[in-house]
Amino acid sequence: MIFITGGAGFIGANFVLDWLASGDEPVLNLDALTYAGNLQNLATLVGDTRHIFVQGDIGDSSLLVRLLAQYQPRAVVNFAAESHVDRSIHGPGDFIQTNIVGTFRLLESVRAYYAQLPATDQQVFRFLHVSTDEVYGSLAKNAPPFAETHRYEPNSPYSASKAASDHLVRAYHHTYGLPVLTTNCSNNYGPYHFPEKLIPLMIVNALAGKPLPVYGDGMQVRDWLYVKDHCSAIRCVLDKAERVSAYHPCRGQVQLPAVSGVQQQPAR
């Protein structure tokens, strides 16, 4: 089975639903059910024994150790995060706690789990960290999309905390040999999007005849990807990527350039 964190949130829930719609490999889903987590997103899975939901925190090491030992996953996909930029500006503490400390505790538990796996299971095991292209800062007008080689320039407590988690993930490969994958996707839109995010907020306000709130001078440039394309890209990376790589799911395709000397593989 695979072990998903944050699978009751926007992207995680889409991933779990798509995963179980396209195969029978079970999913262990750990989610703290913060304001952003909503089990209604997974209502169609009630009674489906392929989906095991556990309410809990990625920072809870003893819970993680117990779940890993009990379910023996072949991969961990980390969606769990505090993800809203505006909230990170008003209260960065939760972002530091979940995105940095939580990812660190998850990595530590997975490292211990991985160390005791038989060599054949270690060969296939992957830790996939779902990150964001916001770690690269802002795009200039008419600039090409971010690439894996772009310099890290986080501008908000959210993106700084995700950047820190990316660095930890990378370090766990280089220091401990954990097979890690990182995806740095652009903004997503689609089903189960939390209403406070830009696209649903604009739609809901427009339908209600309310003003459409523009951020700053409204000139920021962002790249958008349909959430189901992002989920396909993550499945593709999980399936095909080498042991340590970073990828940008972008515009419905997975670009698979080599990083850190890793061999390039074609997308399916």
Ligand X SMILES: NC(=O)c1ccc[n+]([C@@H]2O[C@H](COP(=O)([O-])OP(=O)(O)OC[C@H]3O[C@@H](n4cnc5c(N)ncnc54)[C@H](O)[C@@H]3O)[C@@H](O)[C@H]2O)c1
The smaller minimum CB distance to ligand X, of residues 8 and 256, is found at 8
The rounded radius of gyration (Å) of the Cα atoms in the chain is: 18
Provide, rounded to whole angstroms, the least separation between the CB of residue 118 and ligand X.
29
Catalytic residue among 31, 134, 148, 166: 134
The smaller minimum CB distance to ligand X, of residues 162 and 170, is found at 162
The smaller minimum CB distance to ligand X, of residues 31 and 229, is found at 31
Catalytic residue among 82, 133, 148, 166: 133
> Is the alpha carbon torsion for 51, 57, 62, 68 positive or negative?
positive
Range 204-240 burial, b when 16+ CB lie within 10 A, else e: eeeeeeeeeeeeeeeeeeeeebebbbbbbbbbbbbee
C-alpha span between 249 and 146 (Å, rounded): 11
Q: Are strands 187-189 and 180-185 parallel, antiparallel or unpaired?
A: unpaired
Provide, rounded to whole angstroms, the least separation between the CB of residue 155 and ligand X.
15
Q: What are the structure tokens assigned to 187, written together? A: 């903004």
Provide, rounded to whole angstroms, the least separation between the CB of residue 67 and ligand X.
12
Of all residues in the shown chain, the one whose CB is closest to ligand X is 9
Provide, rounded to whole angstroms, the least separation between the CB of residue 259 and ligand X.
18
Provide, rounded to whole angstroms, the least separation between the CB of residue 188 and ligand X.
4
C-alpha span between 159 and 154 (Å, rounded): 5
> Annotated catalytic, 192?
no
Find tokens 């649903």 and name the residue: 200
Q: Which helix or strand (DSSP H or E) is residue 157 part of?
A: helix 157-176
C-alpha span between 147 and 149 (Å, rounded): 5
> Annotated catalytic, 148?
no
The smaller minimum CB distance to ligand X, of residues 250 and 256, is found at 250
Contact residues toward ligand X (CB under 6 A) are: 5-6, 8-12, 30-34, 36-37, 57-59, 79-83, 98, 102, 130, 132, 162, 185, 187-188, 194
Catalytic residue among 113, 114, 136, 158: 158
> Annotated catalytic, 108?
no
The smaller minimum CB distance to ligand X, of residues 122 and 255, is found at 255
Q: Which residues are catalytic?
A: 133-134, 158
